[in-house]
């Protein structure tokens, strides 16, 4: 595919990018802080395992200035001849850093106890549950104190001007793609003012850094997340009709679009045709500060000239939001490891039920991660939708030339996604392996993102919907008693079987519903009923909402990955509120006998 359309969109916002200092994105480290992002102090403290979770240290606040802290550290290390014990390092941390709530709780002025849309839910148990979920927004609401703005280098927090909703658990800051489903839930709870403030936070970040980071910490600063801000603005404008807000901020949405065009595009040749799409990518050195020891332990096993490539791919996986998954594993430069694993799993499940042990490393693990060699279906579906929405925004604002330009980009993008990622025989889209120039024909919940963004020929909607339904029936539904699993690969990573995450459920359910096809809409309702039932039973038993759930059985939180399952939980709550609003007239609660 010709690159003229990429060059044309770059021209739209080149001036804005220059003003925001996009050149800073080329820095060799994830951020410039010698405390929180790189340097010997970070290295020594993190590899000593003073805390079970590496994130704990980089979320601590300095008691004195950065320069004083570094001088004291250098003095200590010189005195100890660079051989500090864990006890020495713990004493240093205790003297120079402090734990505590950096963020402040905040009242949400537009919160109401019984939002009108929730009062319409038919089943009284589900309606009361929705009110409980609505109340959770208050406990997850935070703001950044002014002291962060004044002494920003003493904390890893990024300053934000307005209140926001955190996911919960160890995730104590604002996260990018999590916030999409939080915003959906807030709008259904009539919290338009809160949503506007959250969107203004994102625009503040864009103006300041030229990128929307994964989360609002300095150590996330130069990696992003699935680009869903444009969709959030669309949802807000659809509810409020606040065109003045759109007029004021559309240039920043264009800037984010350009970021992905400039820093994340990759060209491939298939059957003699040139195609350009986007991928997740990182070019920053070293382990992730928030998971330093975990990364270092694996990275140090690589030859010296391969370590940085591993760190790049680990951070690229975090940019995807799918950290981590067999989706990103390439065994020996091929798909074969995953294929063997899929065949093994099918046999195991058929004969013995789901496995309970982590499979051996010969089936792929984090040392096989190769995100930058994979073109992801979901990311390219999001970029397509962003182009469609930018075209629509400019139509509303009377900017015909830009509207036409983004419409052309969207049409080109859709054609490329169809040509490279759609598999007509299977009835699904698949990620593309750049290294081996072939589709990765394994099930991942992300495969169906183009349904959600309508990144397909809508004249063929009935045909595509039927093919997708058959694909799910053939490949997936027998493994999804309590939700669609993230994959059929049992790797021990959290974005794999048997875990099911709320965003993936919502993307698949809403995508099926949007086709208008009767069988697809029936399946969407069945999947929504299942997901609501599993979440509701967990709520009844524990009065908690979790980051992820087990797709094999009802009322069981998910597991696996780098940390224990987290409760709260922003995106899970937002998705449930959305499903209750969409299907509330037809859903009935399954009430546990042990709870009222």
Catalytic residues: 323, 547
Strands 265-270 and 422-423: unpaired
CA-CA distance, 428 to 430, in Å (whole number)?
7
401 membership: H or E segment, kind and range: helix 400-421
Q: Please spell the DSSP secondary structure of 302-355, one letter per residue.
A: S-HHHHHHHHHHHHHHHHHS--S-GGGB-BTTBSHHHHHHHHHHHHHHHHH-S-
Which residue is listed with tokens 């589900």? 126
Q: Please spell the DSSP secondary structure of 241-259, one letter per residue.
A: --HHHHHHHHHHHHHHHHH
Q: In this structure, what token pair is assigned to residue 465?
A: 């919907």
Axis-axis angle for helices 377-396, 400-421 (nearest 10): 160
- Can you give the length of the chain in residues? 596
Cis omega before residue 430 (within 30°)?
A: no
In the sheet that holds 141-143, the strands lie side by side as 104-105, 141-143, 164-165
Axis-axis angle for helices 192-209, 229-240 (nearest 10): 140
- 188 in Cβ contact with 578 (< 8 Å): yes
CA-CA distance, 148 to 138, in Å (whole number)?
22
Phi (first) and psi of residue 433, to 5 degrees: -85, 105
CA-CA distance, 180 to 229, in Å (whole number)?
7
Phi (first) and psi of residue 391, to 5 degrees: -60, -45
Encode 329-344 in three state secondary structure. Answer: ECECCECHHHHHHHHH
Residues 6 or more apart from 8 whose CB is under 8 A from it?
405, 409
Q: In this structure, what token pair is assigned to residue 225?
A: 């997340």
Q: What are the start-end ranges of the H helices in 83-175?
A: 86-96, 116-119, 124-140, 146-150
CA-CA distance, 550 to 481, in Å (whole number)?
9
Measured from the Cβ of residue 325, the count of other Cβ atoms closer than 10 Å reads 26
Which string of b and e fits 47-61 if b means at least 16 CB within 10 Å?
bbebbeebbebbbbb
Strands 548-550 and 499-501: antiparallel
Conformation bin of residue 561: beta by default, left when phi > 0, alpha when psi is -120 to 50: left
CA-CA distance, 225 to 256, in Å (whole number)?
11
CA-CA distance, 31 to 273, in Å (whole number)?
38
Which residue is listed with tokens 């002025």? 109
Burial class for 115, CB neighbours closer than 10 Å (0-12, 13-18, 19+): buried
């Amino acid at each position: 595919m010709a690159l003229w359309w990429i060059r044309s969109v770059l021209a739209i916002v080149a001036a804005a990018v220059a003003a925001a200092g996009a050149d800073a994105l080329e820095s060799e480290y994830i951020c410039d802080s010698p405390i929180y992002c790189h340097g010997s102090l970070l290295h020594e403290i993190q590899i000593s395992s003073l805390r079970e979770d590496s994130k704990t240290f980089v979320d601590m606040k300095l008691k004195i200035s950065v320069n004083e802290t570094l001088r004291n550290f250098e003095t200590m290390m010189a005195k100890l001849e660079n051989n500090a014990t864990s006890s020495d390092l713990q004493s240093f941390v205790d003297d120079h850093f402090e734990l505590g709530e950096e963020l402040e709780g905040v009242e949400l002025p537009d919160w109401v106890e019984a939002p009108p849309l929730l009062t319409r839910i038919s089943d009284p148990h589900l309606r009361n549950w929705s009110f409980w979920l609505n109340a959770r927004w208050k406990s997850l609401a935070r703001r950044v104190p002014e002291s962060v703005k004044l002494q920003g280098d003493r904390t890893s927090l990024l300053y934000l001007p307005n209140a926001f909703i955190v996911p919960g658990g160890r995730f104590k800051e604002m996260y990018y793609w999590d916030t999409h489903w939080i915003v959906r839930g807030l709008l259904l709870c009539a919290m338009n003012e809160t949503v506007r403030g959250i969107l203004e936070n994102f625009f503040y970040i864009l103006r300041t850094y030229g990128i929307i980071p994964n989360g609002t910490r300095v150590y996330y600063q130069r990696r992003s997340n699935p680009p869903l801000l444009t969709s959030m603005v669309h949802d807000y404008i659809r509810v409020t009709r606040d065109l003045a807000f759109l007029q004021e901020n559309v240039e920043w949405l264009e800037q984010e679009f350009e970021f992905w065009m400039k820093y994340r595009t990759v060209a491939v040749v298939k059957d003699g045709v040139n195609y350009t799409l986007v991928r997740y990518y990182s070019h920053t050195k070293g382990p992730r500060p928030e998971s330093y020891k975990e990364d270092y332990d694996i990275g140090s096993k690589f030859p010296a000239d391969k370590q940085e490539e591993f760190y790049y791919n680990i951070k690229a996986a975090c940019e995807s939001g799918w950290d981590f998954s067999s989706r990103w594993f390439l065994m020996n430069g091929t798909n074969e490891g995953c294929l063997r694993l899929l065949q093994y799993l099918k046999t195991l499940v058929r004969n013995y039920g789901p496995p309970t042990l982590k499979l051996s490393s010969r089936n792929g693990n984090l040392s096989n991660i190769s995100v930058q060699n994979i073109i992801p279906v979901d990311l390219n579906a999001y970029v397509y939708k962003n182009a469609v929405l930018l075209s629509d925004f400019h139509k509303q604002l009377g900017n015909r030339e830009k509207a036409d330009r983004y419409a052309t980009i969207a049409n080109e993008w859709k054609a490329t996604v169809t040509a490279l990622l759609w598999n007509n025989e299977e009835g699904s889209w698949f990620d593309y392996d750049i290294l081996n120039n072939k589709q990765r024909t394994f099930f991942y919940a992300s495969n169906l993102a183009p349904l959600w963004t309508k990144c397909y020929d809508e004249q063929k909607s009935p045909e595509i919907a039927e093919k997708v339904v058959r694909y799910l029936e053939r490949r997936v539904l027998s493994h999804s008693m309590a939700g669609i699993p993230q994959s059929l690969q049992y790797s021990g990573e959290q974005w794999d079987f048997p875990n099911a995450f709320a965003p993936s459920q919502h993307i698949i359910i809403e995508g099926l519903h949007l086709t208008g096809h009767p069988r697809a809409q029936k399946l969407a309702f069945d999947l929504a009923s299942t997901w609501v039932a599993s979440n509701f039973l967990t709520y009844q038993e524990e009065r908690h909402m979790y980051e992820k759930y087990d797709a094999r059985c009802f009322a069981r939180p998910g597991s696996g990955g780098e940390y224990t399952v987290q409760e709260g939980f922003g995106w899970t709550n937002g998705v449930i509120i959305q499903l209750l609003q969409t299907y509330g007239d037809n859903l009935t609660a399954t009430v546990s006998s042990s709870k009222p």
